[in-house]
Amino acid sequence: QQQVKQSPQSLIVQKGGISIINCAYENTAFDYFPWYQQFPGKGPALLIAIRPDVSEKKEGRFTISFNKSAKQFSLHIMDSQPGDSATYFCAASKGSGYSTLTFGKGTMLLVSP
């Protein structure tokens, strides 16, 4: 059973456009929702994360929107740049104890020049 569903699987956006990636979760015990960016041959890097006490978090061009009642959260990349082309993973964890992350399947983003 996949606990974190991520869509779309791939995405092509023009330079300057908005990239939107969505995730939905099932486990209501999840209380920490990070997004990771991964370039080919590299490990994932934490991009931005949110906890359920807020509905939105913004860091530069990256924004997480969180809808607790719908059990959904999304990543918005404003003014997308070719350098943003990477695979993005959403994840979720329960927070208490050790932090075992449940990952979505990933979205390959290509920002065309």
Partner 1 sequence: GAVVSQHPSWVICKSGTSVKIECRSLDFQATTMFWYRQFPKQSLMLMATSNEGSKATYEQGVEKDKFLINHASLTLSTLTVTSAHPEDSSFYICSASRAASYTEAFFGQGTRLTVV
Give the interface segment with partner 1, choosing from 20-28, 55-63, 65-73, 102-110 (CB under 8 A): 102-110
Verify binding: residue 106, partner 1, rule CB under 8 A.
yes
Please report whether residue 20 would count as binding partner 1 according to CB under 8 A.
Answer: no
Nearest alpha-carbon partner for 90 in 105, 100, 110, 108: 105
Segment lying near partner 1 (by CB under 8 A), choices 20-28, 52-60, 61-69, 105-113: 105-113
Q: Shortest approach of partner 1 to residue 23 CB, angstroms?
A: 12
CA 97 to chain centre: 23
Contacts to partner 1 from residues 32-71, by CB under 8 A = 32, 34, 36, 41-46, 49
Query: Contact 91/38 with Cβ under 8 angstroms?
Result: no
CA distance 64 to 23: 11
Q: Are 24 and 5 spatial neighbours (Cβ–Cβ below 8 Å)?
A: yes
Instruction: Return d(Cα 113, Cα 103) in angstroms, integer.
Output: 29
The reply on whether position 101 binds partner 1 by CB under 8 A is yes
Instruction: Kindly list the residues in this chain that would bind partner 1 in the complex (CB under 8 A).
Output: 32, 34, 36, 41-46, 49, 89, 93-95, 98-101, 103-106, 108
